[in-house]
Amino acid sequence: MASGAHAATKYSEMTANKLTVTTKLDGAACAAGSKIKAGTGVLNVMATGLDTSCTDCTATVKICYDSAETVGRKWRKKNDVVDKNKQCKQTAVEADELEKGIDVSKLTTGHDITLPLNIAPIKYTIQVLQKSAADGYKRYGDSGCTFEVETYERTPQGLVGTMSFFIAFSVIVSTAGIWYDHKKQSAYAAANA
């Protein structure tokens, strides 16, 4: 029964306990136009206003679609109920968070999270939630910074060069084969005419 009540915690119920969230992307402060690569980029998240006296509290970091990315997309709809907020479910294999169960003290100094590969290349913000095992969600905060995730290209340059060579080679061999077959058929037709 208690866990069901926790699942219905609303953002509007936590407005008195807002967190200030700051983010760094690969060591640089997040600013307008900032970009980070999925799969290799490191997101550093820091939050102030956390209840550090709470002994059973942990923190959760979520990556949320920027408001502009939700327009006309019901599957990304914002919901006041924390666990039903689809704006913060963003990966190809849908996940509720980037990382959960983080020791609250880590976020007071800055916590590093490597972005997974399966994050769509669009604009996002970061959200931090503090949760008590006994009382559910207690505090939350959104970063004021919007950043863009870039797709990680996993194909090594050596493989790209090798593939290019064999594609060009196959086109040349195919063209030569067609030309040779055409000449052979023309010679056969002339001999039997």
Q: Are residues 42 and 110 in the same domain?
A: yes
- Looking at the fold, whether 49 and 137 belong to one and the same domain comes out as yes
139 and 77 share one domain: yes
Q: For residue 159, what are the domain limits?
A: 155-193
pLDDT given for residue 179 in this prediction: 92
Closest among 141, 136, 112, 128 to 54, alpha carbons compared: 136
69 with 45, same domain: the answer is: yes
Both tokens of residue 127? 């959200």
Q: Is 68 exposed, middle or buried (0-12, 13-18, 19+ CB in 10 A)?
A: exposed
Same domain, 10 and 44: yes
Q: Are residues 116 and 141 in the same domain?
A: yes
Q: What is the pLDDT of residue 94?
A: 61
Q: What is the spatial distance between Cα 162 and Cα 167, in angstroms, rounded to a whole number?
A: 9
Domains identified in the chain, total number? 2
123 and 162 housed in the same domain: no
Prediction pTM value: 0.73
Q: Within this chain, do residues 38 and 128 fall inside the same structural domain, yes or no?
A: yes
68 and 37 share one domain:
yes
86 & 122 share domain: yes
pLDDT tens, the chain, 193 aa long: 344 455 678 998 887 778 999 999 998 999 888 999 988 899 999 999 998 888 899 999 999 999 888 888 888 888 899 888 889 886 555 677 888 899 998 998 999 999 888 888 889 999 999 998 888 889 999 998 999 998 866 666 777 788 888 899 899 999 999 999 988 888 888 888 7
190 and 175 housed in the same domain: yes
**103-106, Cβ contacts within 8 angstroms, sequence gap of 24 or more:** 103/58, 103/59, 104/50, 104/51, 104/52, 104/54, 104/57, 104/58, 104/59, 104/130, 105/52, 106/59
Residue 20's DSSP bridge partners are 48
Q: Is there a single domain that holds both residue 146 and residue 166?
A: no
